[in-house]
């Protein structure tokens, strides 16, 4: 068995796709005896072979968990870190020991003491006044808020599991507001110039930020949605106040515009040819601002402007269902 496992692990780096796939399937079938041979491939910088090894471990699922938990308790030391990563990818925080969960929490707090935030995503986000987070959590329904670095939050909602369907034990009617029996994980950024930004790939796509922005504004007076798709050259932005969209633009929308131009748009619409505004901007924005970055810069905060100097406080991870804590979501997060 030992030689068979060693040969299969070696085949994970084969140049032949069929050989690699066959090795992965065989290792999944072998299960627990292969775990300690796979873990060293997860140590060090990410590689394609390491990703295949992690895929094998996650496909093993519960079969691999007892071995990984034993390594976390007893070593060997060189395998403890990759064992923690594998456990998080297999079962999230729910398969970690209390000791490991406490260690992760301490690491997060250490990182937050002097965080230099990485750039925020510019795909889709919702902006809302920073001081209404508590009202939003109570009114809209955000649960299990956990402090998070920007790197941690973005990896959680963009690269790891951020939607759980078919929630066990859900009461009749519970969760209907947020998509029947689906729980989403979202990231709420630190405060930037009086605003916080919310991210969540599945939440924005399936619940849709366009719907959420209206609901957010019922609890925050105002909320804004922005979406940019460089592949389609598409820009979307909307402003909602007290539950109603008052202004919006969508590149391919029907209608393209919603509501009357806002004051920051009028400076382009009403500009005279001899004004200080560039002629190109006057021409581009003759009906209103079409660029979501420009709209975000004027209305709240543009994610492209993230700096340590304009950041206050820290970010939060949260879920949209009271019965689904962050620990239920699978995935080893960056810090």
DSSP annotation string for 214-243: HHHHHHHSEEEEEEEETTTTEEEEEEEETT
- Tell me the C-alpha distance between 59 and 56, whole Å: 5
pLDDT at 324 over 50: yes
Using one digit for the tens of pLDDT, what is the confidence trace for 19-55? 999 999 999 999 999 999 999 999 888 899 999 999 9
Which phi and psi (to 5°) does residue 75 adopt? 90, -170
Query: Hey, CA dihedral for 218, 219, 224, 230, is it positive or negative?
Result: negative
For the segment 159-171, the average pLDDT, to the nearest whole number, is 79
Domain with CATH 1.25.10 in the chain: 2-96
Q: Which residues pair with 188 in a beta bridge?
A: 198, 316
Q: Which CATH number fits domain 2-96: 1.25.10, 3.30.40, 1.10.3470, 1.25.40?
A: 1.25.10
- Tell me the C-alpha distance between 144 and 294, whole Å: 34
pLDDT at position 177 = 43
Contact 54, 43 (CB under 8 A): no
Instruction: Report which of residues 308 and 3 the model is more confident about.
Output: 308
Instruction: Out of 71-85, 191-205, 232-246, 271-285, pick the least confident.
Output: 271-285
For the segment 254-272, the average pLDDT, to the nearest whole number, is 92
Using one digit for the tens of pLDDT, what is the confidence trace for 208-227? 888 899 999 999 999 999 99
Mean pLDDT (the chain, rounded): 92
For the segment 167-183, the average pLDDT, to the nearest whole number, is 57
226 Cα distance to chain centroid: 15
pLDDT at 180 over 60: no
Contact 159, 331 (CB under 8 A): yes
pLDDT at 174 over 50: no
pLDDT at position 277 = 80
pLDDT at position 274 = 66
């Amino acid at each position: 068995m030992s030689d068979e496992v060693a040969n299969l692990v070696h085949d994970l780096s084969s140049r032949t796709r069929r050989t690699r796939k066959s090795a992965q399937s065989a290792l999944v079938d072998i299960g627990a005896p292969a775990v300690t041979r796979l873990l060293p491939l997860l140590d060090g910088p990410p590689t394609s072979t390491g990703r295949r090894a992690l895929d094998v471990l996650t496909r093993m699922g519960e079969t691999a968990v007892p071995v990984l938990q034993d390594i976390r308790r007893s070593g060997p030391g060189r395998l403890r870190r990759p064992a923690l990563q594998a456990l998080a990818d297999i079962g999230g925080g729910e398969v970690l020991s209390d000791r490991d969960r406490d260690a992760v929490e301490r690491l997060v707090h250490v990182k937050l003491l002097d965080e230099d935030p990485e750039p925020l995503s510019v795909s889709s986000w919702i902006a809302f006044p920073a001081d209404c987070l508590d009202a939003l959590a109570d009114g809209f329904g955000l649960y299990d808020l956990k402090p998070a670095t920007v790197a941690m939050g973005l990896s959680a909602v963009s690269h790891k599991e951020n939607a759980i369907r078919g929630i066990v034990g859900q009461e009749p009617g519970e969760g209907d507001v947020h998509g029947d029996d689906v729980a989403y994980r979202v990231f709420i950024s630190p405060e930037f110039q009086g605003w916080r930004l919310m991210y969540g790939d599945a939440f924005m796509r399936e619940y849709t930020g366009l719907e959420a922005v209206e609901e957010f504004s019922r609890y925050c007076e105002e909320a804004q949605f922005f979406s940019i798709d460089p592949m389609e050259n598409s820009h979307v932005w909307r402003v909602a106040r007290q539950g109603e969209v008052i202004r919006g633009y969508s590149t391919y929308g029907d209608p393209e515009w919603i509501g009357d131009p806002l004051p920051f748009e009028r400076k382009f619409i009403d500009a005279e040819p001899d004004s200080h505004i560039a002629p190109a901007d006057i021409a581009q924005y003759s009906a209103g601002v079409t660029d979501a970055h420009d709209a975000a810069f004027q209305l709240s905060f543009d994610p492209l402007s993230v700096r340590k100097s304009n950041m206050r406080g820290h970010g939060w991870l949260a879920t949209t269902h009271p019965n689904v804590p962050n620990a239920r979501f699978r995935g080893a997060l960056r810090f």
